[in-house]
Structure 1
Amino acid sequence: MTAEAIRDAASRPVVSDRPGDAHGAGGPEGALRIALLTYKGNPFCGGQGVYVRHLSRELAALGHRVEVIGAQPYPVLDEGVTLTELPSLDLYRQPDPFRTPSREEIRDWVDALEVGTMWTGGFPEPLTFSLRARRHLAARRGEFDVVHDNQTLGYGLLGDLGAPLVTTIHHPITVDRELDLAAARGLAKRASVRRWYAFTRMQKRVARRLDSVLTVSGTSRDEIVEHLRVRPARISVVHIGADSRVFSPDASVPEVPGRIVTTSSADVPLKGLVHLVEALAKVRTEQPHAHLVVVGKRADDGPVAAAIERLGLGDAVEFVKGISDAELADLVRGAQVACVPSLYEGFSLPAAEAMATGTPLVATTGGAIPEVAGRDGETCLAVPPGDAGALAQALTRLLADGGLRRRIGAAGRERVLARFTWRQAALGTVERYREALEASRGVHGARGGR
């Protein structure tokens, strides 16, 4: 089936025999019934999973009924939030990523599409999850007041879903594509990158047809307008933030001399980890006790692994993964410096969380990071992205100056508490839900009056 055929079929109105008004429970000020969709929801896999977990918890705390509908790796959710599993074939699971499923596992044409796309080097999950989600919502028409998509942007979410659609775009994945292409060496590698990111063509087409888009920063808003051609009037910025109950200072956690902590959800150029490793080698010429703890999976090969070996840093770089929020908070509290070396971020949860603990931050000026981290010398030390020398200078400066660390750390925490909390994010998101509901009622009212 061609992309155009899939798009046309997916955008037909959902039909169900179930009675009910899709907008019944969510009056102007009433509790809303929210379907929160996420094709990739595990918080250990990146920011999308963190977003789903914390936003859903705070929406429920405000009195709304939140049901997260997700695929593998399934979201980790807090009490009060329902998870409905919408299983894919889980083709990228560990320890056998890019596996070929057995014939018995193929349930329908969507499964076949998922396998075929993977076999040909593409990434199928945004499309196939959207098609499964549409089918699921059709069977439950009337049960939700609003559908909130967490960056699936698949053809299956076009058209009538039985409730207004609000879509979060953290940042356009076209940015990742450009950075990966720039880092690719050789024609074969560049062709592979282009094929993997072929789904971004679909995401561009879908994004342009959305009525209500949320994003997490002004920088992301500008990128969405530029890359996806979404009309600015349809985009609302709702900042996200740190869980300040977990990420807070704790004097009982001992500071580890020389510890630098960073988060890297994937070994990709976007995260800039290779530049931080190179910076660490420079820092250790003046601060021999300096060492790096990376929250993320150690790659067996690739530029980061090569840099660690080339620079002789095997004993100075440690990777940890699968830790709880409480364990992460203690790890950050114990560091003398937190670092965000990314070339680009649509927001930067690691920056907000580190600042919330009172740990001083060194961060690049890539993407929206300055919106979170604030001014250089006041709430962080800021450096240009991709500059290992500038990173080394800022890290060395903080490691050598306890007074500066305390001042930057305290100012950073004040900034986060004033601007970036999940409760504030939930309140802003509910406002957008109600705007979408009112707009939907206006459209249905206009049609009924004809």
Structure 2
Amino acid sequence: MTAEAAQATGPDPLRTAPPAADGRPLRIALLTYKGNPFCGGQGVYVRHLSRELARLGHQVEVLGAQPYPVLDGALDGMHSPAFPAGGSVRLTELASLDLYRQPDPFRTPKAREFRDWIDALEVGTMWTGGFPEPLTFSLRARRHLAARRGAFDVVHDNQTLGYGLLGLPRAGFPLVTTVHHPITVDRKLELDAATNWRRRASVRRWYAFTRMQKRVARRLPSVLTVSGSSRQEIVDQLGVEPRRVHVVHIGADAALFSPDPAVPEIPGRIVTTSSADVPLKGLIHLVEALAKLRTEQPAAHLVVVGKRAEDGPVAAAIERYGLAGAVEFVKGISDAELVDLVRSAQVACVPSLYEGFSLPAAEAMATGTPLVATTGGAIPEVAGPDGETCLAVPPGDAGALAQALGRLLGDAALRARLGAAGRERVLRRFTWEQAARGTVEHYRQAISVQAAAAARRR
């Protein structure tokens, strides 16, 4: 891949080059190797950012692999009434072999499914215990874009960080990449949670792609991230020069996630968004906190938006503490159902050990639901000061979680104050329109840099 290395590093081009002079609408290729919003924050990012870019008048084409993105106002034909300013959102499917689909994950494709050497690479990496999608998607995206030179003003990669990206600037595509947080953080937490050498070896092999992501990130001309905390992690763990990393906060859909007094509040209800089998999300500590809390407040119960684990530490903790009737998992609900669920809770909780931003925190605050959150990663950046816009506790401390949850459940006035302050904070700092406008500024700078580089070569 050395033949596709990006331009040599030097003075920060985004600081030394003037921004693009014109304010014309842009043609944007937005790349996402895993874009379904029900699969995590990357899909939520693509959905909301693409919509807000289109509302600003830009033409957005999302290039995505399975599970395909869910996009708002996507074009079925030549025009969409969703964006009267002339913007548009369109999906182009760059199909993988979909090796991790349900109900047959880690499947071996039939011979007729293979189309080219990239498919063979994808299967071979899976067979040897690795995760191939960032690399293979980047190679398919580069091939697709190379056939469409001149079709886009800028390419925006959503944390693929595959080798295929490195050829894009040389092919004439201005490139901007978003890194929500380094996946090396997930790797470390999963290694820490591994209980034997076989599991540790499996985790190391699965996360082998992070070596590629480090190499690629160091060569990228412009990296966007969602928080100051993530920016520091990218510098420290990926080795990216600080001057190349820029913070553009993301946020909540404040029109959708809004207070509604007509939704009845359920006494004792705590809501969280988490996958039971992801150590980083800290769900096991919240389950332990619930067990402590229910000795004093028996009505306390937890609704988890996410996948239920049938075995593992969380499932074992629910059984050990006798919480089967006090912990409910919900999955596949609509946006409206999710918003009403958060509105119905007396408390929202983010128990994560680390977050690069924490969309669930911003969304809960936008509904006016009071928040208990840890201080892991960027969560304090979003949730704000302890006692003013949330109650903050150390990550991994079930006792502190139980105490904060109990305090909020028992104090209606505190809930009302924190809920109102939380929504005001989101409206002031964290909306998708603000995120789109900030991102477009970096698009225009990247375009200007690419044009200047082309002029020098000429």
TM-score (norm 2): 0.92
CA contact (8 A) 2:290 2:402 kept: yes
Q: Does the C-alpha gap of structure 1 residues 266 and 145 become closer, same or farther in structure 2, counting only changes over 3 Å?
A: farther
User: 55, 62, 67: which is aligned to 1:68?
Assistant: 62
- Report the counterpart of residue 91 of structure 1 in structure 2: 99
Q: Does the C-alpha gap of structure 1 residues 10 and 101 become closer, same or farther in structure 2, counting only changes over 3 Å?
A: farther
Distance in 1 (alpha carbons) for counterparts of 2:3 and 2:371? 49
- Report the counterpart of residue 11 of structure 2 in structure 1: none
Structure 2: stretches of 5+ with no match in the other structure: 8-19, 74-87
User: 438, 446, 449: which is aligned to 1:428?
Assistant: 438
- Report the counterpart of residue 416 of structure 1 in structure 2: 426
- Report the counterpart of residue 367 of structure 1 in structure 2: 377
CA contact (8 A) 1:212 1:235 kept: yes
Q: Give the deviation of 1:447 after TM superposition.
A: 1.2
Letter in 1 for 2:40: G
Distance in 2 (alpha carbons) for counterparts of 1:132 and 1:11? 17
Letter in 1 for 2:162: G
Q: Does the C-alpha gap of structure 1 residues 87 and 11 become closer, same or farther in structure 2, counting only changes over 3 Å?
A: farther
CA RMSD of superposed structures (Å): 1.2
- Report the counterpart of residue 19 of structure 1 in structure 2: none
- Give deviations 1:402-431, integer Å, cap 9, x for gaps: 000000100000000000000000000000
- Report the counterpart of residue 163 of structure 2 in structure 1: 155
Three-state SS of the structure 2 residue aligned to 1:81 is strand
- Report the counterpart of residue 121 of structure 1 in structure 2: 129
- Give deviations 1:120-174, integer Å, cap 9, x for gaps: 0000000000000000001111100000000000000102243101000000000
Number of matched residues?
Answer: 430
Q: Does the C-alpha gap of structure 1 residues 12 and 292 become closer, same or farther in structure 2, counting only changes over 3 Å?
A: closer
Letter in 2 for 1:317: V
* Deviates further, 152-161 or 88-97: 152-161
User: 9, 28, 36: which is aligned to 1:34?
Assistant: 28
CA contact (8 A) 2:289 2:398 kept: yes
Three-state SS of the structure 2 residue aligned to 1:82 is strand
* 2:52 corresponds to 1:58: yes
Q: Give the deviation of 1:236 after TM superposition.
A: 0.8
- Report the counterpart of residue 404 of structure 1 in structure 2: 414
Q: Give the deviation of 1:225 after TM superposition.
A: 0.2
Q: Give the deviation of 1:8 after TM superposition.
A: 3.4
Distance in 2 (alpha carbons) for counterparts of 1:233 and 1:211? 10
CA contact (8 A) 1:42 1:49 kept: yes
Distance in 2 (alpha carbons) for counterparts of 1:429 and 1:144? 16
Letter in 1 for 2:368: G
- Report the counterpart of residue 23 of structure 1 in structure 2: none
- Give deviations 1:263-282, integer Å, cap 9, x for gaps: 01462110000000000001
Q: Give the deviation of 1:12 after TM superposition.
A: 9.4
Q: Does the C-alpha gap of structure 1 residues 388 and 34 become closer, same or farther in structure 2, counting only changes over 3 Å?
A: same
Three-state SS of the structure 1 residue aligned to 2:451 is helix
Structure 1: stretches of 5+ with no match in the other structure: 1-6, 14-25
Q: Does the C-alpha gap of structure 1 residues 148 and 161 become closer, same or farther in structure 2, counting only changes over 3 Å?
A: farther
- Report the counterpart of residue 300 of structure 2 in structure 1: 290
CA contact (8 A) 2:264 2:344 kept: yes
Distance in 1 (alpha carbons) for counterparts of 2:275 and 2:116? 32
* Deviates further, 178-187 or 263-272: 263-272
- Give deviations 1:321-364, integer Å, cap 9, x for gaps: 11122211110000000000000000000000000000000000
CA contact (8 A) 2:5 2:219 kept: no
- Give deviations 1:213-249, integer Å, cap 9, x for gaps: 0000000000000000101111110000000010000
Task: Give identity over the alignment, percent.
Answer: 80
Three-state SS of the structure 1 residue aligned to 2:357 is coil
Three-state SS of the structure 2 residue aligned to 1:441 is helix
- Report the counterpart of residue 105 of structure 1 in structure 2: 113
Distance in 2 (alpha carbons) for counterparts of 1:12 and 1:432? 18
1:11-410 mapped onto 2 (5 Å cutoff): 28-79=22-73, 80-159=88-167, 160-265=170-275, 267-410=277-420
Letter in 1 for 2:25: A
Letter in 1 for 2:174: P
CA contact (8 A) 2:276 2:283 kept: no
Distance in 2 (alpha carbons) for counterparts of 1:392 and 1:54? 34
CA contact (8 A) 1:340 1:351 kept: yes
Distance in 2 (alpha carbons) for counterparts of 1:188 and 1:78? 43
- Give deviations 1:268-326, integer Å, cap 9, x for gaps: 11000000000000111111011000000101111111111111100100001111222
Distance in 2 (alpha carbons) for counterparts of 1:149 and 1:266? 28
Distance in 1 (alpha carbons) for counterparts of 2:416 and 2:455? 58
Distance in 1 (alpha carbons) for counterparts of 2:60 and 2:228? 27
Distance in 2 (alpha carbons) for counterparts of 1:324 and 1:416? 22
Distance in 2 (alpha carbons) for counterparts of 1:267 and 1:170? 20
Distance in 2 (alpha carbons) for counterparts of 1:108 and 1:385? 46
Q: Give the deviation of 1:51 after TM superposition.
A: 0.2
Letter in 2 for 1:359: T
